[in-house]
Amino acid sequence: MLKSKTGMEDGFLSSVGAGDSTMLEAPTKITALVVDDDTINQMFHHRLLDNLGIRNQVVRNGKEAIDVHCSGKNFDLILMDMEMPVMNGIEATRKLRAMGIRSMIAGVSTNTREREKFMEAGLDDYQEKPLTTSKLVSILHKVHKDG
Amino acid sequence: MVGTDLRQQLNNYIQSMRDQGILDNQFQSVQALKTEENPHFVLETVTGFCNDADNGIAQMTRYLEGPVVDFTNLTGLSHFLRGSSSSIGGIRMALACRDLRRASEANNKQGCIEGMARLKHEYNSLKEGLNNISQIERQMIGNAQRGRQ
């Protein structure tokens, strides 16, 4: 049974084959925002984060991501889909960076053709969908290192 | 024991879907998110996916069969369904969505008609399998709840 740095036993990390080197900062300290228009991906990413003990919120598009930050909220990690109605992930990432948001933003998409443009908008990381536990853990390690 | 039999039945069924190429490893990731506190997660995900796919495919059919093909919205929806089918592990359906999207981006009506037919075929296979999985899941949840009473 793996343990988080708080000493809490983490059966989930063990059950999904996370290695012994998977040590997260006290999970409840990390917060995340899921930005995705697809309800299945919303459910999936929300549950993935929940099971890792990461408090998270879900919004449906880039504009809602901007609005939630304008309301005063801040997150350690933002999982940003690329193609969304109203405001896409590229535009939302640019705006968040222009607002001075320094959270880790990881792009998550199936569209590999615009990956470079997405990265240039201000991403810290990019992962192809579907997001898996191991991909998410690799993202979270970067949050831990930069935090 | 009944519980073990059902679990074995579920595993065998999922493996057969993987052998046919209908599901890939991603479905295991969905299953891994099911916990004692949230035993309905797989059921909820499958239900949500099928609802979205039913509505999406119906809408895409309207876009394709209209007097003027709405390639823009057809492209958007095929991308949308590709994402959700990938997330649930429906690899063949995801590939069908990808190909339909390419035809739509090229404004290729005949390609879209063929792509749509293939997408519907792959979705029907996937949906049938997911419904069977859901049935076993419900039995397992029911047994677990009765075991706790």
- pLDDT on residue A100: 96
A116-142 pLDDT, tens digit per residue, is 999 999 999 999 888 888 889 889 888
* CA separation for the pair B3, A24 (Å, rounded): 34
Assigned token pair, B81:
């369904």
A22-66 pLDDT, tens digit per residue, is 444 444 589 999 999 998 999 999 999 998 889 999 999 999 999
Residue A20 scores a pLDDT above 70: no
A4 residue type, one letter? S
- A110: nearest CA partner in chain B: B83
Interface residue B88 vs chain A (CB under 8 A): yes
Averaged over successive runs of 10 residues, the pLDDT of chain B (149 residues) comes to: 81 95 93 89 95 96 93 93 92 96 96 97 98 94 81
Which of B41, B83, B89 is opposite residue A110, by nearest beta carbon?
B83
- pLDDT on residue B64: 94
Answer whether B79 sits within 8 Å of A129, measured CB to CB. Answer: no
Nearest Cα neighbor of A65 from A100, A29, A93, A45 is: A93
Q: What angle do CA A4, A103, A144 make, to 5 degrees?
A: 25
- pLDDT on residue A143: 83
Enter the DSSP assignment of A131.
P
Answer whether B86 sits within 8 Å of A43, measured CB to CB. Answer: no
Task: Sort out which chain A residues have CB atoms less than 8 A from B45's CB and list them.
Answer: 40, 43-44
* CA separation for the pair A130, A42 (Å, rounded): 12
Non-local CB neighbours of A81 within 8 Å, separated by 6+ positions? A35, A36, A37, A38, A41, A89, A107, A108, A109, B83
DSSP state letters, A74-105: --SEEEEES--SSS-HHHHHHHHHHTT--SEE
Interface residue A135 vs chain B (CB under 8 A): no
